[in-house]
Chain A
Amino acid sequence: MSELRVERRDIVIVGGGPAGLAAAIAAHEAGIRSLTVLEREAHAGGILRQCVHNGFGLHRFGEEMTGPEYAQRDIDRAAELGIDIRCDTTVLSVENNRRVTCVSPTEGLTVFEAGAVVLAMGCRERPRGALGTPGTRCAGIYTAGAAQKLINLESMMPGRRVVILGSGDIGLIMARRMTLQGAKVLACVELMPYSSGLNRNIVQCLEDFGIPLYLSHTVTDIQGRERLEGVTVAEVDANRRSIPGTEMHFDCDTLLLSVGLIPENELSKGAGVSLSNLTSGAVMDDSLQTSVPGIFACGNVLHVHDLVDFVSEESFRAGQMAAAYVRGELQPAEILPVKDGPGVRGAVPQQVRKGLKEDVRIMFRPDAVYRNASAVVVSGGKELARKRSLIFTPGEMAVITVKAAQLLQAEDEGLTVRIERKDA
């Protein structure tokens, strides 16, 4: 047996999607040259490679791009800087001493001893098993992203007559893609009384093609022996229980699931990183550092974003902060907790370093739809920031900035983010 290869790096980045690429570019621009990105797939770019629709890059580049075009900008920039990206390389473990073990067909097993690690593994889709839908276990049931990969990367059509469960953006995008590529999409079925997808996608992916959206409905039965033959859809009550007598039957050979995304944190757990129950991502401070010193996280592995533009923005910061850590410029500090108040779920960062002399952006998801409301950050009795909006919805990440001068006035008990209705 050959000796285990051990290499030293200032920074190792796990994942070569938009988060990992942005972190790598920022770290390089901050002067780090000993830097490696580890990517499981054969190409960098992550999920953007299969997102061939447009709508990316409006915030970051001021133009509307497709996923592959957005990814290529970062891939080109990384190549220009000479950043080492190792594709076909699967990370097996990350340890709390920042040892990263990976394997690839060409290099075999390699251990990196890193000064800092950036976790950028992204998220994965909630599968059928997580839903407990009764019925047979036939072929023809895919997550929306799996179908997207088959069509957009592998030139294969998963089916011809399609029902989509879940009306998140990926499900809506796939309703349009399957229709454009020649399938018949019979219905999009949503358990909640509202869609978590963008209005734009409801209009342009469903209404444009006359695809009905059934709100407060779910799939209650799946039929078929070898291949899916049909599904039963029923209305649900306020407790999300199906209402007898409301059943509808659809003859279909394909069921796509678009029922939520979960940050992919198996490696983070192995490293002993504390995770949040609310975001399913790492608990982190304003420098994007996790509970394990020198391990940073960014992008969808940290919390599921709506727009890649914000993933890139967050990840640039993670790269800069990892570079600062390697240079010894990021000292351990006392922290102020950031807590969820009424109306707020999963505010990040969960901690802010005490005495920080920078503006801090706090992101969160509202727990319901609020019209004519304000997001407010308070500490002690003091209001540190307020942002009015005509609408806050769970489908759109809200952002509020606390100015440096205001932040310095925070009490030791920390910050609380809450939503205030105008009439309250």
Chain B
Amino acid sequence: MTERVITCINCPMGCRVTVRLEGSEIVDVSGYTCKRGDTYARQECVEPLRMVTAVIPVEGSVCPLSVKTASPIPKAKIAEAMRALGDLRLTAPITAGTAVLKNVCGTGVDVIATRTV
């Protein structure tokens, strides 16, 4: 039996939610005030997800291109995703909304430009 304490991020309460796991199976969740804390803590224990945003240098522009993952990706893939973005060689002009990297690190999620350079 393992215990993990997760700080809920949904509101300023910041409930410290305790999740008890048997192997990878959740057996008990306690310490939350509302349903969102329960849901969030379970997700954090199963597969934490994060939006990733970054800036990438672009040939032909002083201002770098800002990008985001189109949806959250597994937290464990953040470093790998940043390396993949670092390998990109981009040239201006690029329009906001363009996918600059498809299916980043096999997550099925595209990385898209958030501004036009």
Do they bind each other?
A: yes
Binding site for B on A (CB under 8 A): 49, 52-54, 64, 66, 68-69, 72, 151-155, 180-182, 198-200, 202-204, 207-208, 390-391, 393, 395-396
| A204→B9 contact, CB < 8 A | yes
| B115→A390 contact, CB < 8 A | no
Contact among B9, B12, B82 for A391, CB-based, below 8 A: B12
Q: Are A54 and B8 also in contact (CB < 8 A) when A72-B96, A152-B64, A390-B33 are?
A: no
Chain A contacts of B50 at CB under 8 A? 204, 208
Cα–Cα distance between A202 and B12 once the two chains are bound (Å) = 11
Cα–Cα distance between A60 and B11 once the two chains are bound (Å) = 17
Cα–Cα distance between A208 and B57 once the two chains are bound (Å) = 25
Q: Are A391 and B64 also in contact (CB < 8 A) when A66-B53, A66-B114, A204-B50 are?
A: no
Closest A residue by C-beta to B7: A203
Q: What is the CB-to-nearest-CB distance from A210 to chain B, in angstroms, rounded to a whole number?
A: 12
Cα–Cα distance between A207 and B4 once the two chains are bound (Å) = 14
Closest B residue by C-beta to A369: B12
Cα–Cα distance between A64 and B50 once the two chains are bound (Å) = 13
Q: Are A181 and B54 also in contact (CB < 8 A) when A66-B66, A198-B12, A390-B13 are?
A: yes
Cα–Cα distance between A395 and B55 once the two chains are bound (Å) = 28
Across the A-B interface, how many residue pairs have beta carbons closer than 8 Å? 73
For window 22-79 of chain B, which residues contact chain A by CB distance below 8 Å? 33, 50-55, 57, 62-64, 66, 68, 75, 78
Cα–Cα distance between A153 and B64 once the two chains are bound (Å) = 6
B14 contacts partner chain A, Cβ-Cβ < 8 Å: yes
| B12→A54 contact, CB < 8 A | no
Closest B residue by C-beta to A68: B115
Contact among B7, B13, B51, B53 for A202, CB-based, below 8 A: B7
Closest B residue by C-beta to A50: B66
Closest A residue by C-beta to B55: A152
Chain B contacts of A72 at CB under 8 A? 96, 115
Chain B contacts of A181 at CB under 8 A? 54-55
Q: What is the CB-to-nearest-CB distance from B32 to chain A, in angstroms, rounded to a whole number?
A: 12
